[in-house]
Amino acid sequence: MESRRFLITGGSKGIGESLVRLARTFGHQVVFTGRNEERMNSLAAETGAHALRADVASAEDNVKTVEFATEKMGGIDVLINNAAVAYGAAIGEIDMEKLRAQYDVNMFGLIDLTNRVVPAMKRQGSGDIVNIASTSGLKGHANGTAYSGSKWALRGITQCWQAELRPHDIRVMCVCPSEVQTGFNEGVKGDNPKKLVADDIAGSIMGCLSMHPRGFIPEFAVFATNPW
């Protein structure tokens, strides 16, 4: 894959951090966003990627993100919508403010940022958009109304974007990781070497992006072979 310009949200840890590292290893330009400035500055210094402290739930920050990426790289070829938060509660006990805050990141902010990136991709006649969903978006589970619901929605939105953007040679892919040892969810401990790690997901995504532009993988899930 020739050198391309990546914008990665939620890039300070986990899958996002692995994507930043791998993209830079392959010689791509990278801008990444996040909210942990200390981790971001360290990753930027180590990899040569460009870091911007930004919250995808903020429309103002999304404007700055696109401007920053355009200034640093001259444009965006690959947008990876990785930033997300998790909130779990049983129906009858859901805190609606926490649910709305989750959707501000997982859905509304993601849509807002993509909405700002797509016009330039259309003008250049190419691009890749990668939406990081979850296997929680393939099968519902107890206490999953908020998180699982947001990931089901993301899968549907991805399909809408595929229908709209394929005529412009823009590929849109949805990735559904199973449980990954990233620290994303405090209930997931990193003490089981049989479970997936962030590099597994990052490598799968980069492999799909390396396909010839005439083809793409609309959606795929990644499970650990034997995590028990």
Angle at 127 between CA 62 and CA 205, to 5 degrees: 90
Which tens digit of pLDDT belongs to each residue from 93-123? 999 999 999 999 999 999 999 999 999 999 9
Q: Which of 151, 107, 34 is nearest to 115 (CA)?
A: 107
Burial of 14 (0-12, 13-18, 19+ CB in 10 A): buried
- Contact assessment for residue 175 and residue 130, using Cβ atoms and an 8 Å cutoff: yes
Q: Does 147 qualify as catalytic in the annotation?
A: yes
Which tens digit of pLDDT belongs to each residue from 149-192? 999 999 999 999 999 999 999 999 999 999 998 655 544 455 68
DSSP H helices, the chain, are: 14-25, 37-47, 59-73, 96-103, 110-124, 145-165, 198-209
pTM score: 0.94
Q: Which pLDDT does position 193 carry in this prediction?
A: 83
DSSP H helices, 26-136, are: 37-47, 59-73, 96-103, 110-124
Angle at 87 between CA 83 and CA 89, to 5 degrees: 160
Which tens digit of pLDDT belongs to each residue from 209-224? 999 999 999 999 999 9
The residue with greater pLDDT, 1 or 78, is: 78
Say which residue the tokens 């969810």 belong to.
185
CA dihedral 81, 85, 89, 92 (to 10 degrees): -70
Pairing of strands 180-181, 196-197: parallel
In this prediction, residues 197-206 reach a mean pLDDT of: 96
Q: Which pLDDT does position 149 carry in this prediction?
A: 96
Which tens digit of pLDDT belongs to each residue from 29-73? 999 999 999 999 999 999 999 999 999 999 999 999 999 999 999
Which tens digit of pLDDT belongs to each residue from 2-41? 899 999 999 999 999 999 999 999 999 999 999 999 999 9
Q: Which of 167, 163, 173 is nearest to 129 (CA)?
A: 173
- Please tell me whether residue 219 adopts helix, strand or coil conformation: strand
Structure tokens at 197: 């790690």
Point out the catalytic residue in the list 32, 68, 103, 147: 147
pLDDT level of residue 207 (50, 70, 90 thresholds): very high
d(CA 55, CA 25): 26
In this prediction, residues 194-202 reach a mean pLDDT of: 94
Partners of residue 221 on adjacent β-strands: 176
Q: Which domains does the chain show, CATH number per domain?
A: 5-222 (3.40.50.720)
